[in-house]
A and B are shown apart, each in its own frame.
Chain A
Amino acid sequence: MVDDASIVLPPVHQIGMVVRDLQKTADFYYSTFGIGPFSIVPEMRFDGVILRGQPTDSKVRLGFADSGPLQIELIQPLEGENIYTEFLRSGNEGLHHLGFEVDNFEGMLAKFKRRGIEPVFWKNFGSMAFAYLDTGKIGGVIVELLWHKRS
């Protein structure tokens, strides 16, 4: 039975990886595995993004490559605090989250909240929004909801 609180995520859109040196990683994945080439955004500002309830400013470097129907995203934190610095500090590097493109961002957030799952790093910019959710307590998979306003 499907109740209105049941959650059905769309197919995985993105595999997100957090790395210490994005350029080196992107070069290596392409030259060795043929993954890429990556399009690199050298600097992206994340101003006023809510990290565990507090607005934070941070800066990241991003890299994107397609792998069939999936996008592989590389993220290197440059400045400030975010969930990526937390991940690296805990001694991890590599696979970090799965991204899902949703049509109804607030509705999906509300469904997760009804199950006690809160966004840990998120912002709705108006034309786009993202939210990393605290979905990892069982199974260890961080879900990122992604939304883009349709023009």
Chain B
Amino acid sequence: MTKEPTVRLPPVEQIGIVVRDVDQAVEYFTSTFGWGPFQISEVEMKGFTCGDRIGDCRLKMAFARSGGVEIELIQVLEGETPHSDFLRSHGEGMQHLRFRVDDCEGMVEALARDGVEPLWSQRFPGIAAFAYMKTDKTSGLMVELFEITEPKKDRE
């Protein structure tokens, strides 16, 4: 007998790629894959949860679309994140798949029952929340849950 899935993720919306140098990767993916144009930005994140520590980082990111999916390039400029860890252990490459959810914490709680814990997460109150989920059980797949918070009045 097959049990009902613990959660039902929607279709993949983003492929996250960790790179050493966003500018170099943008140039390469544009000329060699035909991806782009990319939107490039830098973000500073303060107070995220990573395992049992609270941390800060500065990331350089670039976004483009390939059909129905978004391509995200991520370069760590400062700080220690799962991306820096991935770069050390694996090198550059595809690091996560992102799925849009309505309730990030609710989903994290449900997945914890199956032994899948968040590795890196943060909530930006009233705006958005994310959680990177990966354990030994996920066969190397890092799942990013991403919520864009709807204004309360639109909610039941």
Contact = CB atoms under 8 A, between A and B. Distances in A.
Interface of A: 6-12, 15, 17, 19-21, 24-25, 28-35, 37, 67-70, 72, 91-96, 98, 112, 115, 117, 135-136, 138-141, 143
Nearest to B34: A8
Nearest to B95: A95
A31 B113 CA distance: 12
B54 interface: no
Contacts of B28: 138-139
Interface residues of B, number: 47
Interface in B20-51: 24-25, 28-29, 31-35
B8 interface: yes
Contact of A141 (B17, B114, B142): B17
A139 B34 contact: no
A143 B68 contact: no
Contacts of A138: 19, 24-25, 28, 92
Given A67-B12, A68-B68, A139 B7 contact: no
B31 A6 contact: yes
A148 to B, nearest CB: 18
B140 A141 contact: no
Given A6-B31, A32-B111, A139 B19 contact: yes
B91 A91 contact: no
Contact of B6 (A32, A70, A112): A32
B139 A139 contact: no
A139 B92 contact: yes
Contacts of A20: 139
B11 A68 contact: yes
B139 A7 contact: no
A34 B92 contact: no
A50 to B, nearest CB: 22
Majority secondary structure, A binding face:
loop
12 contacts: A12-B66, A15-B97, A17-B139, A28-B138, A32-B111, A95-B94, A138-B24, A139-B29, A139-B93, A140-B18, A140-B94, A141-B33
A15 B15 contact: yes
B82 to A, nearest CB: 13
A36 to B, nearest CB: 9
Given A9-B33, A92-B90, A34 B8 contact: yes
B92 A70 contact: no
Nearest to B16: A95
A6 B5 contact: no
B11 A91 contact: no
A140 B97 contact: no
A29 B5 CA distance: 9
A92 B116 CA distance: 19
A69 B11 contact: yes
Contacts of B143: 33
A90 to B, nearest CB: 9
